[in-house]
Amino acid sequence: MIFILGVAPPALILFPGAGKTEVVPVGQLPSVTVSVTPTIHALPILLLDEMGEWKDFGIQVKVKVHANGEEQIGGIAGNEWEVAVMDPFYAVKGGNDGDVSIVGLAGLLSPKALPLIQKGSPLLTGGPVGHLPVFLVATSAYADTRKTLVIRWLEGYARGLDVIQKTPSKAASLLKTFYQDKLKIEVPEQTLEKELKEAFVFEEQKRDEAFMGKEGKASQVEVLARIMTDYLFKVKAIESRRDPEEYVLSAVCGQLSKLRGEAEAQLRKTRSAIDRAQKEGMPVGAIQKKWEEARGQLQEGRGCLTVIGILSDLERSAEQGRVATRRLHEFRKIEAGVGGVLALYFFGYFIRRRKKRQSS
């Protein structure tokens, strides 16, 4: 046993899983069905799907294309989707009907939308023609019971926005193919690149501000929802009116914005744990490599929730390994002490026997 302890890494002896994080097969990740219409705002979802990055957010995404918002609303009863990119008309209608929760912002809150709605003009959204505000929504039941998965999906959408901003030509190419496939129209990529700049809110702070009221005042999203609700009620598209605070989930948006700070804090905490383990003499090469990968994933915005989980596992492994290494060092001190006592005992024993032989 002493020989084994002398040659095997202590963290692996006492904690066989130290330094390892389990990789869940993609097929075993929770599935989220996303409803989109053939508009430009489906692009962040399509990009991540093409890049195979949804697994980084701890989910697998199934995309279902509906013709319009009416089809999307009609699909709720049949559980056709859990989250969606939806135009404001149907998002607010679904909110007032108790079927939809607004959880994020996909497109610009265009000032032009307000007078159009107030005048009772038809609402048009998305497509290559023009853009009005578009929301990220979840069915009310899903938002209540699977909020973590909603947040993971919102994280992924934000990552898609970063990809669009960094590689607009790649995004335009995919959008062109999407329009050809779903709308049977041909739009030049240069035109689409220009559309991309106007179609999205790339700044995270601006997306957050749209959901955050100041000094007790309603947020921009709530103001817009209230105006649209009045219009919908006037044209008898809804039978009753709900307060936007009931279906505009600003808390989810706030929680999402805090995730990166929490992930960065966990990154530093795990780094400290690794350094402490290394000072104790624990081999940290494997854990260090995993930490570097997690830092890169965080810098690219590929799933803060997932990164927090990975870093927490690494921190625990480092702490367990540190304790195991310390115990081993203490054991070896005891072993050395016992060995010294035994050596003295046998030395004295042989001296005594030698004297007896000489005297006889």
For residue range 155-165, list pLDDT tens digits in order. 999 999 999 99
- Indicate the Cα dihedral angle 220, 226, 229, 230, nearest 10°: -130
% residues pLDDT > 70 (the chain): 75
pLDDT > 80? residue 9: no
pLDDT-based confidence at residue 10 (cuts at 50, 70, 90): very low
Report, in angstroms and rounded to the nearest whole number, the Rg of the chain calculated over CA atoms: 30
According to CATH, the topology of domain 26-259 is D-Maltodextrin-Binding Protein; domain 2 (3.40.190)
- The mean-pLDDT minimum among 149-153, 291-295, 300-304 falls in 300-304
- Indicate the Cα dihedral angle 246, 250, 253, 259, nearest 10°: -110
pLDDT > 60? residue 299: yes
pLDDT > 50? residue 7: no
Instruction: Give the separation between CA 201 and CA 223, rounded to whole angstroms.
Output: 18
pLDDT > 50? residue 275: yes
pLDDT > 90? residue 80: yes
Choice between 67 and 314, residue whose per-residue pLDDT is larger? 67
User: Mean pLDDT, to the nearest integer, of 254-273?
Assistant: 81
The pLDDT value recorded for residue 132 is 61
User: Mean pLDDT, to the nearest integer, of 270-277?
Assistant: 84
Rounded to two decimals, the pTM is 0.73
Most confident range, picked from 116-120, 202-206, 255-259, 337-341: 202-206
User: Mean pLDDT, to the nearest integer, of 11-20?
Assistant: 40
Under 8 Å between Cβ of 347 and 354: no
Choice between 349 and 241, residue whose per-residue pLDDT is larger? 241
Indicate the domain borders of the chain: 2-19+260-340, 26-259
Instruction: Give the separation between CA 3 and CA 7, rounded to whole angstroms.
Output: 7
pLDDT > 80? residue 108: no
Tokens of 178: 């999407």
User: For residue 273, which of 330, 319, 228, 309 has the smallest C-alpha distance?
Assistant: 319
* CA dist 136 → 101, 103, 175, 199, 252 (Å): 9, 6, 19, 14, 12
% residues pLDDT > 90 (the chain): 41
pLDDT > 90? residue 25: no
- The mean-pLDDT minimum among 23-37, 74-88, 102-116, 170-184 falls in 102-116
Tokens of 61: 């995404």
The pLDDT value recorded for residue 43 is 96
The pairing of beta strand 60-65 with beta strand 100-105: unpaired
List of residues 6+ apart from 229 with CB closer than 8 A: 92, 96, 238, 241, 242, 244
The pLDDT value recorded for residue 21 is 46
DSSP secondary structure letters along 236-263: TS-SS---GGGTB-HHHHHHHHHHHHHH
